Structure 1
Amino acid sequence: MSWSKLKQNLESFLSPALQGRVEYRATGYRYSPDKAGLCYIAVDKKNIFNMSDKTTLIKWYQTDQEIKNDAAIQIPISDEEIEAVRKESKGAIPEDRLQVIARSRKLTELSKEILAAQSALSKSNFTVVATKFLATPIDESLEGKDILLNILALMDRRLGKKRLLNMSEKMKLKHPIVQYFYELRVGKL
């Protein structure tokens, strides 16, 4: 599918509140057909999301320690997770430390997922992922681990207000760029 047709299809799915604010852009190289060019998402004429570009406004993590030490990540811990730590330790760990250990374990899992998603994203092709988005149900795009699919689904007009608001806890576990687009969309409700 040509870029202009793909862009037109993607923009037709934009939420009415985001139309005119969010743009899909691409650069091409006229004399280098072997180079695909760059695709990025601009919000209010600013380049917000460019795959594998470390200079964008969103934080890209380099190591799992950066994720674990990021105070902005608020990760909910369930009673079941605390109980699992209690059972593993056979009651040898003080109660105040159980939550710290459970949070640390959950952050380790989250950091692995985020770093894997970032590395996959930097290698992926925007047009391939966007074409996949147009062919898959919105639920799959929202629930998947692919950052770009999450973003495209969040900006989709088929995603209703009630469902968006119910996703706030899940969004805390997503990459900061996904959280940015979630806040952008929720802010326009």
Structure 2
Amino acid sequence: MIYSPKWSKAKKQLKSFTCESLSSRVDFQVINYRRAHDQLGRAVITVDKVEKLNMCTITAEREEYYRERAIRKQLDNFNFDDVFHNRDIQDEAHQMLKSEAIYGQYDFFFALEQYFNASVQDSLQSSDILIKILCLLDRRIGKRTLMKMNDTIASEHPLVQYFFKLRCEAENVRVFI
């Protein structure tokens, strides 16, 4: 599954949304492995050329398999014939991974689509860690919004907190975490 609007075009759009204070420090990369059975690889967000979020498809799929097995074990249900039940288990496992910030490359592309097609306010309210990270890097988020977020940021995932602190430091906004 290759990303449908070309990655180069999406990356250009993503970089155009990145705030000026971080545009030279933050980068987004997609690495595809041609010999992989599905030709997917990983997507990476780097800060100062250091990987901060690695969204590897193989890792995500392996972890999803383990989560599905754990759910089945907990339910004591190994009936693979019920398609709807199997889908529910898979969705539950996938949501568990997303809450732990374990993403596949396809999750990155899906989050990009949502982020590009939603307002900044909707993106900030998203329960998806990846969309919140993209939003925190967005030039359309101003200092006042960052200061308002100071109260609630402590309850966010550590990666969201990291990108919040990064943005605040870049914009000279005082952080209280």
**Bucket of the pairwise TM-score, normalised by the shorter protein:** 0.5 to 0.7
Distance 1:147 1:174 in 2: 9
The change in CA–CA distance for 1:125 and 1:32 in structure 2 (over 3 A counts) is: same
Runs of 5+ consecutive residues of structure 1 not aligned to the other structure: 54-113
Unaligned runs of 5+ in 2: 58-94, 172-177
CA–CA distance in 1 between the matches of 2:152 and 2:46? 24
> In the TM superposition, what is the alpha-carbon distance from 1:127 to its structure 2 partner?
1.1
Match of 1:174 in 2: 156
State which of 7, 13, 37 in structure 2 corresponds to 1:9.
13
1:37 Cα deviation from its structure 2 partner: 1.1
Count of residues in correspondence between the two structures? 129
TM-score by length of 2: 0.66
Which letter does structure 1 place at the counterpart of 2:99? Q
1: distance between equivalents of 2:123 and 2:132?
6
Rounded to whole Å, the distance in 2 between the matches of 1:48 and 1:12 is 20
| 1:139–1:42 CA distance, 2 compared to 1 (3 A) | same
* Greater mean alpha carbon deviation, residues 149-158 or residues 119-128: 119-128
Higher relative contact order (CA 8 A, sep 6+): 1
- Percent sequence identity is 35
TM-score, normalised to structure 1, is: 0.62
Q: Is the 8 A contact 1:22 1:41 kept in 2?
A: yes
Following TM superposition, by how much is the alpha carbon of 1:118 offset from its aligned partner in structure 2, in angstroms?
2.2
Paired position in structure 2 for 1:44: 48
Change (3 A) 1:165 1:115: farther
For residue 62 of structure 2, what is the aligned residue in structure 1? none
| Correspondence list, 1:16-55, <5 A | 16-32=20-36, 34-51=38-55
Give the number of the structure whose alpha-carbon radius of gyration is greater: 1
Does structure 1 conserve the Cα–Cα contact (< 8 Å) formed by 2:133 and 2:160?
yes
**Structure 1 residue 146: Cα displacement:** 0.3
Distance, in Å, in 1 between the alignment partners of 2:141 and 2:55 is 24
Q: How does 1:75-86 map to 2 (within 5 A)?
A: none
Out of 171-180 and 119-128, give the one that drifted further: 119-128
The answer to whether residue 119 in structure 2 is matched with residue 137 in structure 1 is yes
